[in-house]
Amino acid sequence: MLNRIDSSARETLISHPQRLIEQRDHRDGTLATIRAALPVTIAAVMIVLSPNWAHADGEPAESFLKQLRAAGLHDQAITYLDRLDRYPGVDAELLSAVALEKAQTHIDSIITARTASQRDQAFDAAMEQLQVFLKKKNHPRASEAQTQLGKLQMVRGAQLLAGDQDDAEKAARQSFLDAAKTFDAIIETLRGKLSSMQGARIDPKKEPEKAAQRDQYRFEFLQAQVNAGEARLSAAETFPNPQKNAKNLLTEALDRYTDLSEKYEKYVQGASAFFPRGRVEQMLGQKEKAVESFTRMLEQPDADDLRPAKIGATIRLMEMELAKKPPKFNEALKLGEEFTTTVRPNERSLPAVQDLRLVMAKAHLANRDAKSTKPPQKKRATAEARKLLLEAKKYPGDHIKDTEALLADMGISATDEADVQLPSATDDPESFDAALASARELWTGSESLQKQVTALEKANAAKDEIQRVEQSLTEIRGDAITLLRRGLSMIDGKTRTETANEARQLLTYLLFSQDQLWESHVVGGFLARTSPGTDAGLRGGLLSLSSLQKLIGDEAVDRLMPELESLGNYLATTWPEDPKAAMAKGILIRLALSQDQFDKAARMIDEMPAGAEKNSFLRIQGQLKYQQARQSDDDQATETLMKQAISDLSSGFENLTLVAPADLQAALVLAKAHLAVDQPGAAVRVLEHPKFGPVKQSKNIDAPSEGFMPELYRKQLQALVGQMTNAEGDTDKLVRRASKAMDDLRASASGPDGKRRLLAIFLSLATDIREQLDNANPQRKSQLIKAFRVFLERIADSTKDPATLMWVGQTMMEMGESSMPPGTNVAAGEAKDLLTMASETFEKLKDYPEAPKTTPFLYGKTLRLSGGYSKALDEFEDLLRAKPTMLDAQIEAARTYEQWAATLPAKFKGNAYKAALMGGRPGDNKKNVIWGWGKISQVTQRSPQFRDAFFDARYHIALCRFLQGKAINDKRVIEKSKSDITSVANLFPELGGPEQRQKFDDLLKQIQRELGEAPQGLPATPPAEAQAAN
Amino acid sequence: MTYRYRIAPVVLCLFAVTVFAPTALAQTDRLFPTDGDMVLGKIKSVSKSGVVLTVSGKDQTFPAGTITKILFQGDPTALTEGRESALDGQFDQALEELRTLKIDDLPRDVIKADAQFYIVLSQAKQALAGRGDLASAAKSALNFARSQSNSWRFFDVAKLLGDLAAAAGNADQALKYYGSLRSAPSPEMKIQSVYETSMVQLSKGDIETAQKQLQQIVGLKVTSAESVRLKNLAKAGLAVALARGDKQGESNQLINEMIETLNPADTVVAARIYNAQGAAMEAAGDDEGAILAYLHTHLMFSSDAESHVLALRRLADLWTRVGKPDRAAQARGELQQRYPGLSG
């Protein structure tokens, strides 16, 4: 059956206006709901009236009408309907329902009417058109039109009552009576149809369509009965004293409701009718019958559709209890509690629920005012009433006036919503339940205060103001803890385990919030171990674990770690499938990682169930392995660790849905790892991955650190250029993408010191490339150089930005230098080409006024590497005249002399080596602008930061002296070169480290051989004390 | 069933071979005719008359006007995406993609011409929708017509030039460009030439010529979808011509015939029909009827900018005439807001 209470399908048959009228039933006879919901009601009428014409070729009348109405062109719609028969191909049924469509259009226009007069006209016109249409009694839409007419008359009545017309009551009454007549006519029509069907004995199995039609008629029949009663009741309520002036109307209404409730109790309309029946009986002064009707209403099955009527009946019964002398507030409260404790989210704003809150508050206040009530109970009753009234005050409606009046009586300002008196720890709880209820309330209050603290901090409020709120927060939490402890001590055999656990869970949380960590750990741990598998147990356990974790910061790790591990493992094994339990494991893993226990961490990660939590740890682990790989000196170990890092990180990104800044960092590390094992394609794929790729995602998510973006673009650039080495790669496309990465890189260094940062970034980039080249095998190196060269040439052609040109030159130079075979001083072949291009770039750059200051230095260096020594020295001289203490330039200049000397004819060699040692190019003060290795070693000797430069200079002193001696064939000079080494070795036996020491040793042996001595070299490795002294 | 399951892997292998092998071996261009399936081959030659494609060693000719698009081997992604966006009517998105292309760097002349065409098309369509400059779009189109006079898109661009000239109110230029379509190879383009020139003549007030030419199109026996569509457009045009020539009865009859078989999905034709009805009713002095006719276009078939602009303009005038200045102002406001380039 379609409209039986237990049928969910029936829901769809109840139209919105019917629902509204049902809601109105539960109000106190004021029609307030209908008035408040007037536009909604009209909108709902519109929905019902919309026909469902099948599409056909020809004039699209239905769609056009809809569009005209939607655009608010109601007058045009009426004009269109007037001439509809002139258009070809209009559906015949629509043509026959023009009056109904006009009524619809007028109803529609009521919503947009700007004045009362326009609205009245629209109402009249709509009703007129409906009446016209209803003359076609056999039209398929006649029943629909009749129902709408009745509803429109009801709405019109409500609208008239809401207006300020002089004879509003009279006009409204007439409208309600018209509606009653309309509904009566529907009832009679349907009664006839149903009777004829009853005689026909329809078998639903054989004739399902007819059976459905019968169900539909029955539903409409019942609804018309409800509406007919409602219309009479509404008409009666327009009299000042309905019992006296409208007895007939009330009696007629009662007949309808009685008939409905007695004969059709199995249907929603019948079951719901007990409530309006009771109301009418009440109005007629039949008190006992009213109580019986309301009680029978409450005895109806627990169905959603009956809840509003049940709430209405409850309110009426409560009011009757409270009207007794003395007021029976306990009975009233008992009646109301069923619904106040089970109000559903979708019911919170209903007028009936606000009325329920209001009458509940009145009951509490009656309790407060009773002589027999003890002071603590009075206090609690006041708090309850206040709470209910403040809640009701949140929603608009007719209840507001009474609500504010009651609040005012209690001394609460109508505008002061926050003034809710919370329970206190001094209130001795009567029972465990009472304690828990009060604690819940305090907890809610504490959450609100916590938000307040956060808001104040965000707004940079005064410290004392924040402290004041924090103080209240601490007090409230303290009270809640006290109440819960007292309550838990009252637990007995009747207490439900779930409720007791809820109290323990709340207590754990509050203790944790108050930093009472030991207590929190103990209570939460107890809860976890006594309630395995439950949600409360898990939450308690997690709080306990968090407390321990916080304690570890203060207490000895060794003492607490076993406890922490034990609890963590217990949670993970007791709730193995729960992602929250995986968090417990997470805490253990973090601890293991923080103590560098990588194997242990890896084992625990492996044991975790697959999912987001495990993946997040794999990402952390992968990054740590990458760092380890970078720090390892063992090539094989490095490779193994890099591969493991790639594996962990790749697995960690599987099924990642939400990307956080830390994930962008992890993705960058994965790309770096791919680059480290020469997988540029994979690196690009990671960086540009649509879900977690930082190139794309960094536009949506904050970068994890300030330096992240430049580093990202550096790596992207490297990866893209690396990809260019792939024979199948689309070089043009890659160059374009790499150029874009360059642009992004430049853009990432904006801001006040952008220029300086950009230069630093470019320097790092050049170093990255050099590192990449130095680590590559010869074949790979050649491929990389080729790729970088293509890219750099494109960049150089397309930019005039000095910083970029500088980088291009510098990278070319680095590549050129990297291409020179070890031991050679002058570039040849491809290296020479690269260096030439670099020096051309620097030369061009020198003309830029904003060229970086290091340009002459780099230019000089490229000249030296290309064998242009004289010109290189000119550059260094110019630079050092302006800035004599530029150590890098001094070293470069000394090296230039030294390397130049090696290429000169024998007769010039001696002087050239001397210049490398003693300097050259005297300045205006006759002192050499270029210092030479001698002065470099003197300047750097005392400064630890130049330690490497000092030993290098000392080495070159010895070398140049030795070569000078050989060039001029002077044994004394060669002898001197020997003492250059031995003297420094006596002072600094370590000689700047094993590598440098080896160089000294080799040179000394060479000198010794030249002098005809045994090539003994340096004394054996110095003892530890000497090393320490070094 | 068992048999089908057993052979499935083999079929898959064969599929893989046929799909992957040829692309790796030879240059392939993919031509999509307006009727029929995609044809795979190598472009042999291109002229304003059409394209010759070598398919499996044999040459096939596709006349201009019968090709929807060609995907060339070596197309950069931006062109592929821009082309699809343009063909989908997403012209702003198309331009965004196409502007990233460096035309000179494109690998083949046909690709260069294709990229230029879609830029011209998108700019013109944007301008015709009131969201771009008509003059600069016309300049780009003219440059294309001059520099790519052997493109198979030549006549498409001639049509665009006609549209742009007509939208700018330059009837003589429009007649010249539309007239050039008569030498196009496809019959549809020839019909289009007659239709467009007659509509320009109608706007110039040469009702007699317009009516005569439109009548010619209406009398044609056509089969292709595009020709049928053009015939319907011509009927709508003819209805306007008849109404303006004091033959309201014939005009109404023609419009009613068209409404009876109206396809609401073809919003361009539908808008032209109701605009024709509006014109006919205006000519008959039925302002309310005309307002309702133009409201059909405005509220239901507004996707064709040209028709929508006309409807809004007429509504603004008619509402003023029937004493509803606030609605007239609303129509003008919408015109300015939606079609800033065409609201003047």
- CB contact (8 A) between residue B260 and residue A63: no
pLDDT at residue A413 is higher than 80: no
Phi-psi region of B220 (alpha: psi -120 to 50; beta: other; left: phi over 0): beta
Angle, vertex CA A203, rays to CA A202 and CA A206, nearest 5: 120
Which of B140, B172, B139, B176 is CA-nearest to residue B159?
Answer: B176
Cβ burial of B187 (10 Å; 0-12, 13-18, 19+) is middle
Work out the percent of chain A whose per-residue pLDDT is above 90. 23
User: Predicted confidence band at A26 (pLDDT cuts at 50, 70, 90)?
Assistant: very low
Distance CA A549, CA A544 (A): 9
Count how many Cα atoms sit within 13 Å of the Cα of residue A306 in the half-sphere of its side chain: 30
Phi-psi region of A608 (alpha: psi -120 to 50; beta: other; left: phi over 0): beta
The model's pLDDT over A808-853, given as tens digits with 9 standing for 90+, comes to 888 888 888 888 888 888 888 888 888 988 888 888 887 787 777 7
- CB contact (8 A) between residue A83 and residue B264: no
A79 to chain B, any CB pair closer than 8 A? The answer is yes
**Strand ranges across the sheet with B29-33:** B58-63, B50-55, B39-47, B29-33, B67-71
Terminal alpha carbon distance of chain B: 68
b/e map A630-650, b = 16+ CB within 10 Å: eeeeeeeebeebbebbbebbb
Handedness of CA A930, A934, A937, A939 (dihedral sign): negative
Give how far Cα A615 sits from Cα of A300, A655, B72, B133, Å. Answer: 54, 9, 43, 54
Chain B residues within 8 A of A67 when measuring between CB atoms: 299-300
Handedness of CA A1022, A1025, A1026, A1028 (dihedral sign): positive
B179 to chain A, any CB pair closer than 8 A? The answer is no
Chain A residues within 8 A of B263 when measuring between CB atoms: 57
Structural tokens at position A1012:
């005809």
Distance CA A753, CA A765 (A): 18
- CB contact (8 A) between residue B260 and residue A89: yes
DSSP tag of A920: E
Residues 6+ apart with CB under 8 A from A793: A837
Residue of A nearest to B301 (CA): A64
- CB contact (8 A) between residue A64 and residue B296: yes
A688 to chain B, any CB pair closer than 8 A? The answer is no
User: Predicted confidence band at A164 (pLDDT cuts at 50, 70, 90)?
Assistant: low
Angle, vertex CA A150, rays to CA A146 and CA A153, nearest 5: 135
Count how many Cα atoms sit within 13 Å of the Cα of residue A833 in the half-sphere of its side chain: 7
pLDDT at residue A900 is higher than 90: yes
- CB contact (8 A) between residue B299 and residue A60: no
Instruction: Identify the pLDDT of residue A332.
Output: 93
B58 in helix, strand or coil? strand
DSSP element (H, E) containing B227: helix B225-244
pLDDT at residue A295 is higher than 90: yes
Q: Tell me if B119 sits within 8 A of B86, measured CB to CB.
A: no
> CA of A63 to nearest chain B CA: how many angstroms apart?
8
Distance CA B141, CA B192 (A): 19
DSSP tag of A295: H
Q: Tell me if B306 sits within 8 A of B200, measured CB to CB.
A: no
Q: Which residue has the higher pLDDT, A416 or A444?
A: A444
Find the CB nearest B260 among A71, A73, A88.
A88
Length of chain B: 344
B contact residues 85-144, partner A, Cβ 8 Å cutoff: 105
- CB contact (8 A) between residue A57 and residue B296: no
Which of B292, B294, B298, B287 is CA-nearest to residue B322?
Answer: B287
Task: Determine the residue type at A245.
Answer: N
- CB contact (8 A) between residue A57 and residue B76: no
Phi-psi region of A515 (alpha: psi -120 to 50; beta: other; left: phi over 0): left
Distance CA A542, CA A572 (A): 10
Question: Across the A/B interface, how many CB contacts are shorter than 8 Å?
Answer: 46
Residue of A nearest to B265 (CA): A57
Lowest mean pLDDT, pick from A14-23, A151-160, A550-559, A731-740: A14-23
The model's pLDDT over A226-246, given as tens digits with 9 standing for 90+, comes to 999 999 999 999 998 888 889
Instruction: Identify the pLDDT of residue A426.
Output: 57
Beta bridge partners of A192: none
Chain A residues within 8 A of B76 when measuring between CB atoms: 733
A contact residues 715-754, partner B, Cβ 8 Å cutoff: 732-733
Which of A109, A73, A132, A123 is CA-nearest to residue B288?
Answer: A73
- DSSP structure string for A7-64: -GGGGGGS-HHHHHHHHHHTS-SS-HHHHHTHHHHHHHHHHHH---PPP-SS--HHHH
User: Predicted confidence band at A724 (pLDDT cuts at 50, 70, 90)?
Assistant: confident
Query: Cα-flanking dihedrals φ and ψ of residue A930, to 5°?
Result: -90, 120
pLDDT at residue A416 is higher than 60: no
Residue of A nearest to B102 (CA): A736
> CA of B275 to nearest chain A CA: how many angstroms apart?
14
**Mutating which of B274, B292, B298 best tests the A interface, going by the most A Cβ atoms within 10 A?**
B292
Question: Strand ranges (DSSP E) for A620-769?
Answer: none
Distance CA A765, CA A480 (A): 60
A contact residues 87-146, partner B, Cβ 8 Å cutoff: 87-89
Distance CA A992, CA A998 (A): 10
- CB contact (8 A) between residue A76 and residue B105: no
Task: Determine the residue type at A177.
Answer: L
Q: Tell me if A858 sits within 8 A of A842, measured CB to CB.
A: yes
A447 to chain B, any CB pair closer than 8 A? The answer is no
pLDDT at residue A144 is higher than 80: no
Beta bridge partners of B41: B29
Instruction: Identify the pLDDT of residue A545.
Output: 86
Distance CA B263, CA B259 (A): 8
Instruction: Identify the pLDDT of residue A517.
Output: 86
- CB contact (8 A) between residue A76 and residue B295: yes
The model's pLDDT over A382-409, given as tens digits with 9 standing for 90+, comes to 888 888 888 888 777 788 888 888 888 8
Pick the most confident of A64-68, A124-128, A802-806, B135-139. Answer: B135-139
| Alpha helices (runs of H) in A776-868, residue ranges in sequence order | 778-798, 802-819, 829-846, 855-866
Distance CA A960, CA A896 (A): 12
**Mutating which of B100, B111, B260 best tests the A interface, going by the most A Cβ atoms within 10 A?**
B260
> CA of B41 to nearest chain A CA: how many angstroms apart?
24
Chain A residues within 8 A of B261 when measuring between CB atoms: 57
Cβ burial of A181 (10 Å; 0-12, 13-18, 19+) is middle
Q: Tokens 């014409």 sit at which residue?
A: A53
B contact residues 205-264, partner A, Cβ 8 Å cutoff: 256-257, 259-264
Lowest mean pLDDT, pick from A295-304, A338-347, A463-472, B46-55: A338-347
Which of A641, A688, A648, A654 is CA-nearest to residue A668?
Answer: A688
Residues 6+ apart with CB under 8 A from A725: A680, A780, A783, A784, A786, A787
Distance CA B98, CA B116 (A): 9
| Alpha helices (runs of H) in A988-1023, residue ranges in sequence order | 994-1010
Instruction: Identify the pLDDT of residue A582.
Output: 67
**Mutating which of A66, A68, A81 best tests the B interface, going by the most B Cβ atoms within 10 A?**
A68
Distance CA A781, CA A792 (A): 16
- CB contact (8 A) between residue B105 and residue A79: no
Residue of B nearest to A67 (CA): B299
Structural tokens at position A421:
């008196």
Do the strands A920-922 and A928-930 form a parallel or antiparallel pair, or are they unpaired? antiparallel
Find the CB nearest A60 among B105, B264, B295.
B264
Do the strands A928-930 and B67-71 form a parallel or antiparallel pair, or are they unpaired? unpaired
Instruction: Identify the pLDDT of residue A423.
Output: 60
Which of B270, B268, B210, B259 is CA-nearest to residue B237?
Answer: B210
Q: Tell me if A593 sits within 8 A of A621, measured CB to CB.
A: yes
Q: What's the mean pLDDT in A754-783?
A: 75
B300 to chain A, any CB pair closer than 8 A? The answer is yes
Radius of gyration of chain A (CA): 46
User: Predicted confidence band at A898 (pLDDT cuts at 50, 70, 90)?
Assistant: very high
Phi-psi region of A678 (alpha: psi -120 to 50; beta: other; left: phi over 0): left
DSSP tag of B63: E
Distance CA A447, CA A443 (A): 6
Do the strands A928-930 and B29-33 form a parallel or antiparallel pair, or are they unpaired? unpaired
Instruction: Identify the pLDDT of residue A399.
Output: 86
**Per-residue confidence of chain B (344 residues) as pLDDT tens digits?**
333 323 233 323 332 333 333 333 345 788 998 877 888 888 999 999 999 999 888 899 999 988 999 998 888 888 988 898 898 888 888 898 899 999 998 989 999 999 999 999 999 999 998 888 999 999 999 999 999 999 999 999 999 999 999 999 999 999 999 999 999 998 899 999 999 999 999 999 999 999 999 999 999 988 888 899 999 999 999 999 999 888 988 999 999 999 998 888 888 999 999 999 999 999 889 999 999 999 999 999 988 888 999 999 999 999 999 999 889 988 998 888 888 777 55
pLDDT at residue A734 is higher than 90: no
Q: At what angle do helices A168-200 and A142-162 cross, to 10 degrees?
A: 160
Distance CA A820, CA A89 (A): 89
Handedness of CA A885, A886, A888, A891 (dihedral sign): negative
Count how many Cα atoms sit within 13 Å of the Cα of residue B324 in the half-sphere of its side chain: 17
The model's pLDDT over A241-260, given as tens digits with 9 standing for 90+, comes to 888 889 999 999 999 999 99
Instruction: Identify the pLDDT of residue A554.
Output: 58
A930 in helix, strand or coil? strand
Radius of gyration of chain B (CA): 23
B289 to chain A, any CB pair closer than 8 A? The answer is yes
Q: Tokens 């005249």 sit at which residue?
A: A881
